[in-house]
Amino acid sequence: MTPTRPPFDRDHLPPGIDPPSPQDPEALGRYRVVGRIGAGGMGAVYAGVDEAGGCAAVKVIHPQFAADAEFLARFAREVDLVSRVRGTCTAAFYEADVNAGTPWLATEYVRGLPLRGHVRENGVLTGGVLLALAVGLAEGLSAIHGAGVVHRDLKPGNVIMSPTGPKVLDFGIARTVDGTALTKTGGLVGTPGWAAPELFDGVEATDRSDMFAWGGMVAFAATGRNPFGTGAADALVHRTRREQPDLDGVPPELLGLVRRSMDKDPARRPTAERALAELTSRWSATRVQPLPHDLPAPHRPSPQGGGAEGEAPPAPTAGFGPVPPTEIVPALLATEWRGITAPEPRRIRRGRRWPVVAAAATAAVLVAALVAVWLVADPTIPGADDPSAAVTDTGQDGGDGGSDGGSDGGDGSGEAAVDDGAARVAQARRLALDATSFEAYYGMTVGGDGSEVYQLYRYEEEPEPVYLQTSPAGPATSEVMYLGAGLDDTVFRTISSLTGDTEVGPYYRNPGADPSMTEHAYRERLVDDLDLAAESGSGVEYLGTSGAPVTLQYPPEEMGGMAGLEGINGHHYTGAYSKEVSGSGDTSVGMVEHTFDLWLDEEGYPLLFTVYSEPDFGSGPVPGTDTTVYVSFNEDVDIEVPDESEIEPDQPGF
């Protein structure tokens, strides 16, 4: 099979691919490496281009595993199995070399957004597109199971919404070779919230385990909600084992099949082949004209009813003999899969460390942030002079530990595996707080009216620790410079344009002010919610590398403006956490679920953190988006600290 040929070279890469680093290989077999798609404990995935310009996703295993004869033999067996998978909705196998110094496997590179990202950007799937997704996933699993492979970790991040149909990724090699993604402590298979309940009892995964995840995927696509909600891994496991999935909103024509697929008893779930037959036969029965590839079968009677559970009934067509369900899939996709596009390749800008942005915001933080904005700095703030205090111990082992030192867990003992979401989030917080300087800004929207409010952050340790927080708000800008632990060490300044001319007021102290004025003036505020995100444990899902969509309308010119938000990519993580939200007068409106997207650079520093929530302040849910763009770390930051003689002892009169 010939690889696809998108416009694809080292200077023009699709979103989701980073430029290669000096440590990455220059070539793998006949493929020249032009980018890095992702990496994990067992190996890495590269973007490769052959001499004819065809591209592929080239998977390699780490050298220490290649040196293990038993592992290499297993790898070869799995390559043989995966090479037999022939599905319309699976990534195609191209070739492999298991005897190379760096064993590799080349498969189709599939362009498009992961299912979760597509739902988040475009809303839930309905009608024919939802049916096509259900059919495509069933067809993909049917092909995988027919080759003797069990996926074991079907979830929204492993399905790509390509322009030609849904594509199931990460089957076979990634899961069977590494022991089906067991944690280091053993027992946890797949991803909590998506994995079948029997897997948490130590039962070996089967094709019916994949069908449980299939039902959850269809439910998610139809509703935008995880079938067992969000939260810590143990809570998700408990709900999966003891509670029924949230299927409210799944259309009636799919609800019965989805519910059967998510039965707690694997024996009562349909096979992928059976599900595919039910879906395609129902669709075929609505066609006025027979499908182009239907063939007359005058001597073969039409089937009456379905077969036994687990057997696929042939799909009836008007006036013709039965057509195998897999032959109906291409026509169904051509008819129903509409309006799905893939992001175009973009020019890569090298030498930049920070990202493009996608919006995100917590209306909770927004309410307080709209009142006042700070620019602060001080290592005496609790936790600022003790990097370990900034670390969150998630208590979770992620992934397989792998060859890169395993899961950091946020304790600083080693680098976290890129696919260990919780550890990576905790590590990002630690790196940010260990930085000797940083610049960032914080964009907020609330109510969906498109208005934006910003805060700008600058910090430097030399020549003296100072943390400056600026709040542009209409014709006036407030600045707060924090040099110590309380109001006596905090100076304020107002820059006004009320008269049309910019008037820069003097710095002043306000010792008689309410001490709560400085409650937000602490360096950890920049990364506070990363604690909550890390504590979501296995709920932090790694989606690979991608470019964050630019949704901010008015990024501050002081930090690059719109030009600074182009062509920036990073490792993408997503998840959810709960947080108490306060309204006017600090009155709590209760715990509110926040969903987030986080992009990290290759070193693990945060690039972009976006949070979405809809708290109800008494008149209905209010959508909020909170976006933190981390411009730089450990680079020169110029903050002009006023001389003591330039600081007024009290707030000037107006």
pLDDT tens-digit profile of 285-325? Answer: 776 445 444 434 333 333 333 333 344 444 444 334 467 88
Query: Rounded mean pLDDT of 337-343?
Result: 89
| CA–CA gap between residue 379 and residue 384 (Å, rounded) | 5
| Average pLDDT for 633-639 | 79
**CA distances to 59, 131, 278, 316 from 322, in Å:** 40, 21, 13, 5
Look at 583 and 33; give whichever has higher pLDDT. 33
Which of the two residues, 620 and 317, has the higher pLDDT score?
Answer: 620
> What is the three-class DSSP state of 320?
strand
Distance CA 292, CA 153 (A): 36
- Report whether pLDDT(336) > 80: yes
**Res. 136: pLDDT tops 70:** yes
Mean pLDDT of 15-42: 80
**pTM for the structure as a whole:** 0.54
DSSP lists the bridge partners of residue 481 as 468, 491
Q: Is pLDDT of 506 > 50? A: yes
The pLDDT of residue 557 is 66
Q: Is 36 a residue whose pLDDT tops 70?
A: yes
End-to-end CA distance of the chain: 76
pLDDT in tens, 138-166: 999 999 999 888 888 899 888 999 999 99
Confidence of residue 626 (pLDDT cuts 50, 70, 90): confident
User: Residue 413 burial (CB < 10 Å; 0-12/13-18/19+)?
Assistant: exposed
Beta strand 647-648 with 507-508 is parallel
- Give the whole-angstrom CA distance, residue 626 versus residue 612: 7
pLDDT for 13: 77
Q: Which has more pLDDT, 129 or 290?
A: 129
pLDDT of residue 379: 28
Mean pLDDT score, 542-552: 76
The span from the CA of 135 to the CA of 400, in Å, is 32
535, pLDDT greater than 70: yes
Q: Which residues contact 259 (CB under 8 A, 6 or more apart)?
A: 215, 247
Mean pLDDT of 203-208: 91
Q: How confident is the model at residue 439 (pLDDT cuts 50, 70, 90)?
A: confident
Q: CA 366, CA 619: separation in Å to the nearest integer?
A: 17
Of 522, 557, 592, nearest to 366 (Cα)? 592
Which helix H or strand E contains 602, and what residues bound it? none
- List all residues 6 or more positions away from 563 whose beta carbon is below 8 Å from its beta carbon: none
Does residue 602 or residue 217 have the better pLDDT? 217
- The amino acid present at 177, given as its one-letter code, is V
Q: Look at residue 460 and tell me whether its pLDDT is greater than 50.
A: yes
Whether the CB-CB separation of 275 and 261 falls below 8 Å is answered with yes
Q: Are 425 and 419 in contact (CB under 8 A)?
A: no
Average pLDDT over residues 39-50: 78
User: Rounded to whole angstroms, what are the CA distances from 148 to 18, 104, 141, 194, 265?
Assistant: 33, 21, 11, 21, 22
| Mean predicted lDDT score pLDDT of the chain | 73
Quick count: other Cβ atoms within 10 Å of Cβ 456? 21
Tell me the two tokens of residue 233: 């891994």
The catalytic position among 18, 24, 97, 153 is: 153
Q: What does the radius of gyration of the chain's CA atoms come to, in whole angstroms?
A: 27
**For the chain, counts of helices (H) and of strands (E):** 13, 27
Please return the burial class of 55, using the count of CB atoms within 10 Å of its CB with bins 0-12, 13-18 and 19+. Answer: buried
Token reading at 474: 């209409």
Where are the extended beta strands (E) located within 147-229?
A: 159-162, 165-168
Q: For 392-421, what is the mean pLDDT?
A: 44
Q: How confident is the model at residue 263 (pLDDT cuts 50, 70, 90)?
A: very high
- Is residue 585's pLDDT more than 50? yes
**Nearest-5° Cα angle at 544, 538 to 548:** 110
Q: Which residues partner with 469 through β-bridges?
A: 375, 480
Is the confidence at residue 376, as pLDDT, over 80? no
Q: Is 501 a catalytic residue?
A: no
- Strand 437-446 relative to strand 624-633: parallel, antiparallel, unpaired? antiparallel
Comparing C-alpha atoms, which of 208, 2, 206, 168 is closest to residue 85?
168
Burial class (CB in 10 A: 0-12, 13-18, 19+), 343: middle
Mean pLDDT of 194-202: 91
DSSP states of 21-68: PTTS-SEETTEEEEEEEEE-SSEEEEEEE-TTS-EEEEEEE-HHHHT-
Q: How far is CA 402 from the centre of its chain?
A: 21
pLDDT at 401 over 50: no
Per-residue pLDDT tens digits for 78-125 = 788 888 899 999 999 999 999 888 899 999 988 888 898 888 788 999
